[in-house]
Amino acid sequence: MITISSSDVIKKPSYITNPKEITIVKDAKKHIIKSVVIPFELYEKIKEKLEDEIYLLENSDALNAKSYKEFLEIESSCEDLAI
């Protein structure tokens, strides 16, 4: 895993276009993390999990705490049955 600044991307775009490892991009002035770039091979391995988490985050307002807890219990049971 490497950490670069946003100005490093301009100097060496391959950090973003062809990442060899997980790359954390920090804002050059504020020194806060702005982006994370992962190699495509890694993305393919974790794609489904990421999509599931993004869906949950985007729809978190629709689930209250109790419903979300029930959903997580059902989800793990469904995963066990799918195996």
Residues 6 or more apart whose CB falls under 8 angstroms from that of 27 comprise: 5, 6, 33, 34
Q: Is the pLDDT of residue 35 over 70?
A: yes
For residue 81, what pLDDT is reported? 65
Residues 6 or more apart whose CB falls under 8 angstroms from that of 57 comprise: none
Which residue would you say has higher pLDDT here, 60 or 44? 44
Calculate Rg over the CA atoms of the chain.
18
Element (H, E) at 80: helix 65-82
For residue 47, what pLDDT is reported? 92
Q: Tell me which residue has tokens 């999990």.
A: 49
Which residue type does 75 have? E
The model's pLDDT over 47-82, given as tens digits with 9 standing for 90+, comes to 999 898 888 888 776 767 777 788 788 877 776 666
Q: Is the pLDDT of residue 83 over 60?
A: no
